[in-house]
């Protein structure tokens, strides 16, 4: 019994100090996550005029790739001018002018936390944060003794959270 008590006490201590350490990171992730929910809208985005020269005679699909516009929508083509959503492309000269909507610099950097891939420097922070959150989930079960009413009520809330998440995933 003494070994269980010291293990439980150790989990509480690590949980507490890791929680304090990660409080700032969690706040940043929470704010950037809220902004990410609205990424398909123009919320907080500002228009930026882009003028550049690209490869002449690009077809419609290649044009989207060269401009970094995934689903480019060509509206019409008149002579050598291609009109697409928010811009034009001259097939003869390769001259492109369009308006791009971007998040402000700081907010864009915050949202990059959620988009990091294994090749990005933020990869390590994301993995550390994910493992820490998983530790929080597991260590929270050592916060209270299993026979107490608080622990039993906590288990009901845990099951409710899992069920709610699964239901929302499939709606």
Q: Give the model confidence (pLDDT) of 38-59 as tens digits.
A: 988 999 999 999 999 999 999 8
Question: What gap in Å lies between CA 30 and CA 53, rounded to an integer?
Answer: 39
Beginning with the edge strand found earlier in the chain, give each strand of the sheet holding 74-78 in spatial order: 46-53, 95-102, 87-90, 81-84, 74-78
Residue pair 12/136 in contact by the 8 Å Cβ criterion: no
Sign of the four-CA dihedral 52, 55, 60, 65? negative
| pLDDT digits 0-9 by tens, 85-120 | 999 999 999 999 999 999 999 988 888 888 888 998
Burial 123-132 (b: 16+ CB within 10 A, else e): eeebeebeeb
| pLDDT digits 0-9 by tens, 144-165 | 888 999 999 999 999 999 999 9
Mean pLDDT (the chain) is 90
HSE-up of 128 (CA within 13 Å, CB side)? 12
């Amino acid at each position: 019994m003494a070994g269980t008590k010291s293990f439980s006490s150790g989990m509480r201590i690590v949980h507490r100090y890791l929680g304090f350490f990660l409080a700032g990171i969690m706040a940043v992730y929470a704010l950037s996550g809220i902004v990410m929910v609205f990424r398909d809208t123009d919320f907080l985005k500002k228009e930026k005029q882009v003028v550049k020269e690209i490869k002449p005679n690009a077809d419609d699909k290649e044009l989207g790739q060269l401009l970094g516009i995934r689903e480019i929508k060509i509206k019409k083509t008149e002579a050598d001018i291609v009109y697409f959503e928010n811009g034009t492309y001259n097939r003869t000269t390769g001259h492109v002018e369009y308006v791009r909507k971007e998040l402000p610099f700081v907010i864009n950097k915050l949202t990059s936390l959620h988009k990091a891939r294994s090749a990005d420097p933020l990869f390590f922070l994301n993995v550390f944060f994910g493992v820490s959150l998983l530790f929080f989930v597991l260590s929270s079960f050592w916060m209270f003794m299993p026979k107490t009413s608080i622990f039993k009520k906590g288990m009901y809330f845990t099951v409710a959270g899992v069920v709610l998440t699964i239901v929302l995933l499939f709606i």
